[in-house]
Amino acid sequence: PAKAVADATALKQIVLNLVTNAIKFTPAGGRITVSTAASRRGAELTVEDTGCGMTAVAIAEALRPVPRDVPAIREGGGLGLGLPMSRALAEEMGATLSIDSAPGRGTRVKIAFPGGAMVVI
């Protein structure tokens, strides 16, 4: 079977970015879950939170390489570079980043690596 290949440094940066965002936008008493899964089709890394969530427009803006104006970014005190950087790093490894979110429902960010067993280099 094919192997999903990941660069260790890039993978650490992605996890740091996603977990930092989850912490930043999840209020006290909320929940943050980091999980992985593997199958013959590939490997997945998921960071999910019960935070404030985002609209589809906010997601599109937050994924821009230079976000213009996302209120949650301003409120969180960040520059808004974590998601675009994470997506670029994932794509360099042949993976895809997807976001499922809605205001008041939280956010799920999934990195999907094609292939079989995960090999970290």
pLDDT digits (tens, 9 = 90+) for 21-38: 999 999 999 999 999 988
CA 51 – CA 105 distance, rounded (Å): 7
pLDDT tens digits for range 35-82: 998 877 788 999 999 999 999 998 998 898 865 655 555 555 565 788
Whether pLDDT at 1 is above 60: no
- 3-class DSSP state of 109: strand
The reported pTM is: 0.84
pLDDT tens digits for range 82-117: 899 999 999 998 899 999 999 999 999 999 988 765
Burial of 36-45, coded b for 16+ CB within 10 Å and e otherwise, reads eeeeeebbbb
CB 16 within 8 A of CB 86: no
Look at residue 25 in the predicted model and tell me its pLDDT.
92
pLDDT tier, 14 (very low <50, low <70, confident <90, very high otherwise): very high
* Eight-class DSSP state of 77: T
